Amino acid sequence: MSELTTVARPYAKAAIDFAVETSDIANWQEMLVFAGEVAKNDDIRNLLTGAYASDKLAEIFVGVCGEQLNTQGQNFVKVLAENNRLSALPDISTQFNAFKADYDKEIDVDVTSAIELSAKQLDSMSAALEKRLARKVKLICNVDPALVAGVIIKAGDTVIDGSVNSKLNRLSDALQA
């Protein structure tokens, strides 16, 4: 699966660059999500592994997608077919969404707390994280009573662990050392 992610990255980058250049990001996102779902279909997946010529495969794929793809989207599919990369479309869509979030300066932040947080606490946390990360923040909240108290915040590669459970574990390790 990581191979497809590596293959998908340059295509997704090219798509986001073109979408930004033409101010058509939302349309490209919709096209890639749709095409990615088509590529996940079992019948289409079997077709992609068959012995069809790339132009015939592109024609079939564009026909299935129909009006969901504009002319540039159809050309993109043809390039993918020529390079035998149609099976990477779901990963291209995922990578495109990540590039779009980066372009929009948005980030999803996982917040795990011991109890349900109030709206005021979430607003305060969101404002602080937006300031620290210099991005728009979308909080994804979870509750885990095993934390005892406090929160664990995960934003990309950044992890802020302010849970009591973690502090107790560190204290235990220090006492045993």
pLDDT for the residue numbered 35:
86
CATH architecture of 2-102: Orthogonal Bundle (1.10)
pLDDT for the residue numbered 1:
46
CA torsion sign for 80, 84, 89, 92 is negative
Residue 61 CB-density burial (10 A; 0-12 exposed, 13-18 middle, 19+ buried): buried
Q: Which one, of 61, 55, 13, lies nearest residue 36 by Cα?
A: 61
Give mean pLDDT, residues 129-146. 87
pLDDT for the residue numbered 60:
79
How much is the mean pLDDT over the chain? Answer: 84
Segment of 2-11, 57-66, 100-109, 119-128 carrying the highest mean pLDDT = 119-128
pLDDT for the residue numbered 120:
93
> Lowest-confidence range among 6-15, 23-32, 52-61, 168-177?
52-61
Give mean pLDDT, residues 11-40. 87
| Position with higher pLDDT, 57 vs 144 | 144
- Ordered by start, the domain boundaries in the chain are 2-102, 105-176
Give mean pLDDT, residues 145-173. 83
Contacts 24+ apart (CB under 8 A), 37-43: 37/90, 38/64, 38/65, 38/89, 39/86, 39/87, 39/89, 39/90, 40/90
pLDDT for the residue numbered 2:
57
Q: What is the pLDDT of residues 72-114, one digit of tens each?
A: 888 888 888 888 888 888 888 888 888 888 887 888 888 998 8
Residue pair 38/61 in contact (Cβ under 8 Å)? The answer is: yes
Q: Which one, of 105, 170, 90, 96, lies nearest residue 137 by Cα?
A: 105
**Percentage, residues of the chain above pLDDT 90:** 3
Q: pTM here?
A: 0.66
For the chain, how far is it from start to end, CA to CA, in angstroms? Answer: 41
pLDDT for the residue numbered 65:
79
Tokens of 53: 């010529």
Q: What is the pLDDT of residues 67-76, one digit of tens each?
A: 888 888 888 8
Strand-strand pairing, 151-155 and 106-113:
antiparallel
Asked if residue 4 has pLDDT above 70, the reply is: no
